[in-house]
Amino acid sequence: MKNNLGQMDALPESDCAKGAVHPRLASELISHSHAQDLFLDAYHSQRLHHAWLIHGPKGIGKATLAWKIAKFLLHKPILPNGNTAHFEADQKIATTLDIDPHSPLSRRVAQLSEPRLCLIRRTWDQKKNKFSAGISVEEIRKLNSFFQMSAPEGGRRVVIIDAADDMTMSAANALLKTLEEPPKHAVILLISHQPARLLPTIRSRCRTLKLQPLNAQELEKALEANTTVEGSPALYELSKGSIGDSLRYANSDAVDIYTQIAGVMNADRKLNRPAALKIAESCAGAAQQEHLGIVIELILLFISRLAQTGIGRAPTTPISSSELDLLFALSPHQYAAQDWAQLAQMISEKSEHARAVNLDPSALILDIFLMIEKAAQKMRLYD
């Protein structure tokens, strides 16, 4: 049984990967013991910071860690003298963030009914049938009333912002005011996939917990614990340790798509035009926007693996049976690697522009394949 805390909300949740249980309901956190230990050390040192920036690649367990921290803090009462360090009944210091999953607190958190906890995330617009573009300043301003309410059961309050990268500039500035003058006994947990996008003044006011991608064994265990997706070496190569990307790629048959993309180029550096046209046509139509995005991601991944091969860092695990031979044929040295890296940048910029002006998706993909063929042919000059 994956979870026994309750059902998922009826409405879609922007902070939950499709096909996975929500991080607040996750049965366990795989890996990241170092980050957990750092937080526990801070907690027991009686110098618990008021804001924590939990960052790392998307889909590796940052939100699961944030929810574990939140439940742990809400479970541990603040002692009357203001000392935030808490000892168990046997006088031993807590060595884990885990609390009883069947406790009233765990059940309230699962149902998003815990009054001492505030979740800030992109909201679902039922009229437009989509998520809001970002976290608005109005969402951040809700914290004012949240902090003004009296907090029962010890006075501690916790805020989770998932993801802080989604805040508008106005929202970020509003949050900054709260971070500059934090309420007493409040802890704000910011989840970030790209911390460089945050205001430097926000980053400087947070203590950081950096999480690393999962290794192959950890990813397989995490998928087994929280999803119905079965891990594989090829899926790991695509997702690079991200549970979220593993789910997204598994649900879209990305391994098969990548195999088709790699098959578009031949070792003789010529384009397989029927294969390229088939992939391009699969992206046609407004309904295929998500598929288009995945195809572009996988094309860029293929080119990245070409560049890595050229500098002597060929992948040790091929995604398709003939991939390694193709990578060595198309990128035999560092000069080829440089050209592939430049092409990746060009394709990324072309894709962003095409989406911005609503160019025909199938024409875009076909143009990208022609760019790849042209680059491969150019490399004959190095032979």
Q: What confidence tens digit (pLDDT) does each residue in 170-225 have?
A: 999 999 999 999 998 999 999 999 999 999 999 999 999 999 999 988 988 888 87
Average pLDDT (252-268) is 92
How high is the pLDDT of residue 26? 86
* Average pLDDT over the chain, rounded to an integer: 88
Residue 80 has pLDDT above 60, yes or no: no
Question: Would you say residue 37 lies in a domain?
Answer: yes
**What is the share, in percent, of the chain residues with pLDDT greater than 70?**
91
Do 263 and 349 share a structural domain?
yes
Do 193 and 276 share a structural domain?
no
- CA gap 133, 277 in Å, rounded: 33
Question: Would you say residue 7 lies in a domain?
Answer: no
Do 130 and 64 share a structural domain?
yes
Give the 3-state secondary structure of residue 345: helix
Of the two residues 160 and 147, the one the predictor is more confident about is 160
Do 200 and 59 share a structural domain?
yes
Nearest to 261 by CA among 332, 337, 342, 365: 365
C-alpha torsion angle, residues 14, 17, 23, 24 (rounded to 10): 50
Can you give the residue range of the structural domain that contains 121? Answer: 23-212
Do 294 and 192 share a structural domain?
no
Question: Would you say residue 233 lies in a domain?
Answer: no
Do 140 and 38 share a structural domain?
yes
243: confidence class by pLDDT, cuts 50, 70, 90: confident
Q: What percent helix, strand, coil does the chain show, rounded to 5?
A: 50, 10, 40
pLDDT tens-place string over residues 34-59: 999 999 999 988 789 999 999 999 98
How high is the pLDDT of residue 383? 61
Question: Would you say residue 11 lies in a domain?
Answer: no
> Residues with Cβ < 8 Å from 334, sequence gap 6 or more?
310, 311
How high is the pLDDT of residue 104? 95
Of the listed ranges 187-201, 210-224, 268-282, 359-373, the one predicted with least confidence: 210-224
Residue 117 has pLDDT above 90, yes or no: yes
Do 302 and 156 share a structural domain?
no
- 317-334 burial: b if 16+ Cβ within 10 Å, else e: ebbbeebbebbebbbeee
Nearest to 1 by CA among 23, 18, 32, 25: 25
Do 281 and 335 share a structural domain?
yes
Question: Would you say residue 207 lies in a domain?
Answer: yes
Structural domain tally of the chain? 2
How high is the pLDDT of residue 24? 93
How many CA atoms within 13 Å lie on the side-chain side of 214?
Answer: 27
Do 152 and 271 share a structural domain?
no
The CATH number assigned to the domain holding 126 equals 3.40.50.300
Do 178 and 326 share a structural domain?
no
Question: Would you say residue 284 lies in a domain?
Answer: yes
Which residue, of 191, 212, 233, is where some domain finishes? 212
Which residue, of 212, 230, 261, is where some domain finishes? 212
Do 357 and 271 share a structural domain?
yes
- CA gap 278, 181 in Å, rounded: 57
Question: Would you say residue 61 lies in a domain?
Answer: yes
Question: Would you say residue 228 lies in a domain?
Answer: no
Do 202 and 261 share a structural domain?
no
pLDDT tens-place string over residues 291-337: 999 999 999 999 999 999 999 999 999 998 889 999 999 999 999 99
